Amino acid sequence: MPARAWILACHLSHLVSALVGFGAPDRALLRPAMTETTADVASSEAVFADYLANELANAPGADRYPEVFVDAQQCILTWRRRYASTPMLWRRLYRAEKVLKELIESAPVIAAVRDVVAEAKLAPGERFTIVDLCSGKGFLSMFLSDMLSPSKVERCFLIDRAWPPHDWEGPIGPAHISDAHIYQERLPAGVEAVNYFEQWPVPLHTSKRDLKNKATLRTLDAQLFARCSGPVLVLGVHLCGTLALRAVDIFNGAPSRCRLLVLKPCCLPPMLHMKRDETFHIGQHSFPAVDVCAPGTFKARRGGWEGPPRADLRPRFERWAEHLCAGVELGSAGGAKAVHFSEVQVRGGYQNTFVIAERGGETRRLWERVREEERRK
């Protein structure tokens, strides 16, 4: 069998086993769409490009965000070339976080940011700053870095409590997210490492911060936003439980700096808050925890979701999103806010609701898309 045909057959074998139920986060954590072996990394780019195009062509959202998906394919190919000299890093990165699943669920966020950046008229010397909350590995910011113009976007801050501190010199352990793909691989003394930081068109900066810590919220404006030359775009994908409240607090807390909030809530707040008879407060809006708390949890290593049927939680999740949106404060600058439905989970998942808010006006294409989705719903 010719080498190219053998490699393609291997890839198809991976896909049959790994992509059954693709885009269905209600099941156990999905295996990566394609786990590259050493031979795969060395295989032709054309084979890998064909695989990406085939998988993304019919992915959820590809019909509604075609430009995002086309450009994302090029981003992934760029990353593969970027890490070609360190194939171990590329295999670890591509396997660990299921890049295609991350893209599908972030596509509405990426589209909103691109719309705002494209239409914005900034003052001389101003550029946007992106704040990626609970970033994980940082795939959302990685896509945006390679899609957006450095002339309009100054940098992306990737905020997560699991990043190692900037002065960390020890090995990366289970408690940390490795930042090697953002900066450079930690190699033994005397071994030269590739500097990836300089290869991101829009610079990526990791920031170790715990959003549940109230001190973090108090210092964000002075320590982070004050360093920005222009408006801030606050993004949050998969913010579990009460972390979604903190995202709204951050947006509300810096009305002169934060231009856009795009939030995709994840898990509902746990029952603990209801048992304590708590009331949640965001902005001028308050609501009882009993409205939104739910039992159950997602345990990947134990086979997935443990709790009531997930479809039963959809009305409660939609109430959660409505409450989050009600707590967003646009302030005197005006603007628009909405709960935005975009179906990115198609096999039993119910987390297809985003909260979008824009201060100081309305980006035409962004709000056209929001209203178009409302008509589809």
3-state secondary structure 8-29: HHHHHHHHHHHCCCCCCCCCCC
**Where along the chain do its domains lie?**
98-376
Quick one: how far is CA 44 from the chain centroid?
A: 29
What percentage of the chain's residues is helix, strand, coil (to nearest 5)? 45, 15, 40
98-376 topology per CATH: Rossmann fold (3.40.50)
pLDDT at residue number 351: 85
Do residues 347 and 101 touch, judged by C-beta distance below 8 A? no
Say what the pLDDT of residue 158 is. 96
> What would the two tokens of residue 357 be?
């808010």
Phi/psi of residue 357, nearest 5 degrees: -140, 140
Kindly report the pTM of this predicted structure.
Answer: 0.86
What was the pLDDT predicted at 5? Answer: 40
pLDDT along the chain (377 residues), means of 10: 38 34 31 46 77 89 94 95 88 77 94 97 95 96 98 96 78 81 76 86 95 84 86 94 95 94 93 94 96 79 66 87 97 94 78 94 94 77
Write down the pLDDT at residue 348: 63
Unique residue bearing structure tokens 């995709």: 264
What does the alpha-carbon distance between residue 25 and residue 275 come to, in Å, rounded to a whole number? 28
Q: Can you count the helices (H) and strands (E) in the chain? A: 12, 11
The one-character DSSP state at 361 is S
pLDDT of residue 119: 96
- Maximum distance among all alpha carbons in the chain? 68
Helices (H), 172-298: 214-223, 243-253, 271-275
CA dist 3 and 5 (Å) reads 5
Cα distance between residue 88 and residue 91, in whole Å: 5
Neighbours of 291 (CB within 10 A): 15
Are the C-beta atoms of residues 257 and 228 closer than 8 Å to each other?
yes
